[in-house]
């Protein structure tokens, strides 16, 4: 039997494609320890004291940006926030020059969200800091998939044999890609569902089932993860209308009635009445806000381990 890891093998978190099941399990067990820290009266530990983290957000974000900031503060790091609007990017400065100038101010860890796939990897080639990918184009969103796994483990502690369906615009979704890697590595049966225009050809090679019928995706499913229909991409006519999309692929109260143990997840932001009926978003079997809560502990775990932290057993000492 393989021994549980005590440290990560990777220096950066660019995506989950190269992370092993043991590394993913280490992040999850560390996140569970940090959840306990967050329940304390003073939810703060000194793990990253003396380290500086810069949050480079070149794209809009609510959940990821705020939870990274909170995670860094809970770990006692010094944080600097950068948003491309109002910066010298609007004067034409490149990502490389922006990053190198920020690093010249002595930064240890950089968190980056960018519209271009590969931007996080590119950053590792420009600066010495540890890099965490907070979403790069349609490539990966690893911390989202990790917080999703933590949320799924609260529903079912055993991943093996669990059935999770990811429904929506798989083609453009970095969340779907990272989840596909992490869920299949942990033994979850994954079904991808959506219109043919939103599912990449040949994706079943990654060990998932593909269907274009919502009922087929929901039958026997433990957790349905609905993805945001990216309204900003609808000019490419991936689907005739949002109303038609909702009729065919939107999860509605009748589905919750028909499948009484089905749980609903969504990475946010939700388009109410498109991928999920508004009543489904607010239903007690929707764990969308639990996902957000789990985001802080998960990002604390990633920052802590990438900064060289050891396995959770040592948390009692540092806390
Ligand atoms: N899930 C997610 O990435 O949300 P934000 O775009 O608000 O960060």
CATH of the domain at 240: 3.40.50.1370
Tell the residue number behind the tokens 């498109």, with chain if given: 274
Residue 13 is predicted with a pLDDT of 98
DSSP-derived pairing of the beta strands 109-114 and 78-83: unpaired
Looking at the fold, whether 286 and 146 belong to one and the same domain comes out as yes
Whether residue 179 is contained in a domain is answered as yes
Whether residue 251 is contained in a domain is answered as yes
- Whether 27 shows a pLDDT value over 90: the answer reads yes
Interval 196-217: pLDDT, tens: 999 999 999 999 999 999 999 9
The total of other beta-carbon atoms located within 10 Å of residue 237's CB is: 9
Whether residue 118 is contained in a domain is answered as yes
Interval 232-264: pLDDT, tens: 655 567 888 899 999 999 999 999 999 999 999
Residue 84 is predicted with a pLDDT of 78
Residue 85 is predicted with a pLDDT of 76
Q: d(Cα 292, Cα 173) in Å, to the nearest integer?
A: 18
Q: d(Cα 66, Cα 296) in Å, to the nearest integer?
A: 9
Ligand 1 centroid, distance to 7 Cα (angstroms): 27
Whether residue 13 is contained in a domain is answered as no
Q: What is the mean pLDDT of residues 161-180?
A: 97
Q: d(Cα 30, Cα 34) in Å, to the nearest integer?
A: 6
- Whether 28 shows a pLDDT value over 80: the answer reads yes
Looking at the fold, whether 177 and 278 belong to one and the same domain comes out as yes
- Whether 313 shows a pLDDT value over 70: the answer reads no
Looking at the fold, whether 187 and 259 belong to one and the same domain comes out as yes
Percent of all residues in the chain with a pLDDT value above 70, rounded to a whole number:
95
Query: Looking at ligand 1, which residue's alpha carbon is closest to its atom 5?
Result: 61
The total of other beta-carbon atoms located within 10 Å of residue 155's CB is: 16
Query: Looking at ligand 1, which residue's alpha carbon is closest to its atom 4?
Result: 63
Residue 316 is predicted with a pLDDT of 62
Query: Looking at ligand 1, which residue's alpha carbon is closest to its atom 1?
Result: 267
The kind and range of the H/E element at 177 are helix 174-185
Ligand 1 centroid, distance to 3 Cα (angstroms): 34
Query: Looking at ligand 1, which residue's alpha carbon is closest to its atom 6?
Result: 61
Which of 111, 267, 292 is the best mutation target for the ligand 1 pocket, counting ligand atoms within 8 Å of the beta carbon and taking the most? 267
In this prediction, residue 143 has a pLDDT band, given cuts at 50, 70 and 90, of very high
- Beta carbon of 268 within 6 Å of any ligand 1 atom: yes
Ligand 1 centroid, distance to 314 Cα (angstroms): 31
Looking at the fold, whether 136 and 146 belong to one and the same domain comes out as no
Burial 14-52 (b: 16+ CB within 10 A, else e): bbbeebeeebbbbbbbbbbbbbebbeeeebebebbeebb
Q: d(Cα 267, Cα 248) in Å, to the nearest integer?
A: 20
Whether residue 14 is contained in a domain is answered as no
The total of other beta-carbon atoms located within 10 Å of residue 204's CB is: 12
Tell the residue number behind the tokens 């087929």, with chain if given: 216
Looking at the fold, whether 234 and 93 belong to one and the same domain comes out as no
Looking at the fold, whether 171 and 121 belong to one and the same domain comes out as no
Q: What is the mean pLDDT of residues 158-171?
A: 96
Looking at the fold, whether 282 and 148 belong to one and the same domain comes out as yes
In this prediction, residue 92 has a pLDDT band, given cuts at 50, 70 and 90, of confident
Whether residue 5 is contained in a domain is answered as no
What is the Cα Rg of the chain in Å?
19
- Beta carbon of 115 within 6 Å of any ligand 1 atom: no
Residue 152 is predicted with a pLDDT of 98
Which of 62, 83, 142 is the best mutation target for the ligand 1 pocket, counting ligand atoms within 8 Å of the beta carbon and taking the most? 62
Tell the residue number behind the tokens 């020059």, with chain if given: 97
Count: domains in the chain: 2
Q: What is the mean pLDDT of residues 141-158?
A: 97
Closest to 220 (Cα-Cα) out of 189, 180, 181: 189
Ligand 1 centroid, distance to 113 Cα (angstroms): 10
Which of 269, 290, 291 is the best mutation target for the ligand 1 pocket, counting ligand atoms within 8 Å of the beta carbon and taking the most? 269
Q: Dihedral through CA 290, CA 83, CA 80, CA 36, nearest 10? A: 0
Q: What is the mean pLDDT of residues 79-95?
A: 82
Q: d(Cα 233, Cα 211) in Å, to the nearest integer?
A: 22
Looking at the fold, whether 168 and 101 belong to one and the same domain comes out as no
In this prediction, residue 103 has a pLDDT band, given cuts at 50, 70 and 90, of confident
CB contact at 8 A, 140 and 167:
no
- Beta carbon of 118 within 6 Å of any ligand 1 atom: no
Closest to 13 (Cα-Cα) out of 156, 157, 111, 117: 111
Query: Looking at ligand 1, which residue's alpha carbon is closest to its atom 3?
Result: 64
**Enclosing domain of residue 97:** 21-140+295-318
- Beta carbon of 267 within 6 Å of any ligand 1 atom: yes
Residue 252 is predicted with a pLDDT of 98
Ligand 1 centroid, distance to 39 Cα (angstroms): 24
Q: d(Cα 226, Cα 52) in Å, to the nearest integer?
A: 35
Ligand 1 centroid, distance to 85 Cα (angstroms): 18
Burial 258-288 (b: 16+ CB within 10 A, else e): ebeebbbbbbbebbebbbbbeebbebeebbb
Looking at the fold, whether 133 and 154 belong to one and the same domain comes out as no
Looking at the fold, whether 129 and 192 belong to one and the same domain comes out as no
- Beta carbon of 295 within 6 Å of any ligand 1 atom: no
Whether residue 260 is contained in a domain is answered as yes
pTM: 0.95
Whether residue 103 is contained in a domain is answered as yes
Q: d(Cα 70, Cα 58) in Å, to the nearest integer?
A: 19
Interval 253-308: pLDDT, tens: 999 999 999 999 999 999 999 999 999 999 999 999 999 999 999 999 999 999 99
Looking at the fold, whether 203 and 258 belong to one and the same domain comes out as yes
Looking at the fold, whether 148 and 288 belong to one and the same domain comes out as yes
- Whether 131 shows a pLDDT value over 80: the answer reads yes
Pick the range with the lowest mean pLDDT from 40-49, 241-250, 305-314: 305-314
């Amino acid at each position: 039997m393989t021994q549980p890891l005590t440290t990560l093998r990777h220096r950066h978190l660019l995506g989950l494609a190269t992370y092993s099941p043991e590394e993913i399990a280490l992040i999850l067990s560390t996140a569970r320890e940090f959840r306990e820290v967050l329940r304390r009266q003073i939810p703060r530990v000194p793990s990253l004291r003396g380290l500086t983290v810069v949050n480079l957000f070149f794209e809009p974000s609510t959940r990821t940006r705020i939870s990274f900031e909170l995670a860094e503060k809970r770990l006692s790091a010094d944080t600097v926030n950068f948003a491309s609007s109002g910066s010298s990017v609007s004067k034409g400065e490149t990502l490389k020059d922006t990053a190198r100038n920020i690093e010249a101010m002595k930064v240890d860890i950089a968190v980056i969200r960018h519209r271009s796939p590969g931007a996080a990897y590119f950053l590792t080639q420009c600066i010495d800091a540890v890099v965490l990918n907070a979403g790069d184009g349609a490539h990966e969103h690893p911390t989202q998939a990790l917080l999703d796994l933590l949320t799924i483990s609260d529903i079912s502690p055993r991943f093996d044999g669990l059935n999770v369906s990811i429904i929506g615009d798989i083609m453009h979704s970095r969340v779907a890609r990272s989840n596909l890697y992490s869920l299949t590595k942990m033994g979850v049966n994954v079904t991808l569902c959506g219109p043919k225009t939103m599912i990449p050809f040949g994706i079943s090679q990654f060990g998932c089932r593909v269907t274009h019928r919502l009922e087929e995706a929901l039958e026997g499913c433990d957790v349905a993860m609905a993805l945001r229909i990216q309204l900003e991409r609808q000019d490419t006519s991936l689907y005739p209308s949002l109303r038609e999309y909702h009729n065919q692929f939107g999860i509605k109260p009748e589905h919750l009635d028909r499948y009484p143990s089905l749980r609903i997840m969504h990475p946010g932001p939700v388009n109410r009445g498109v991928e999920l009926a508004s009543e489904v978003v607010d239903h007690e079997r929707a764990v969308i806000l639990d996902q957000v809560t789990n985001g802080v502990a998960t990002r604390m775990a990633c920052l802590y381990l990438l900064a060289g932290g050891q396995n959770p057993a040592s948390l009692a000492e540092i806390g």
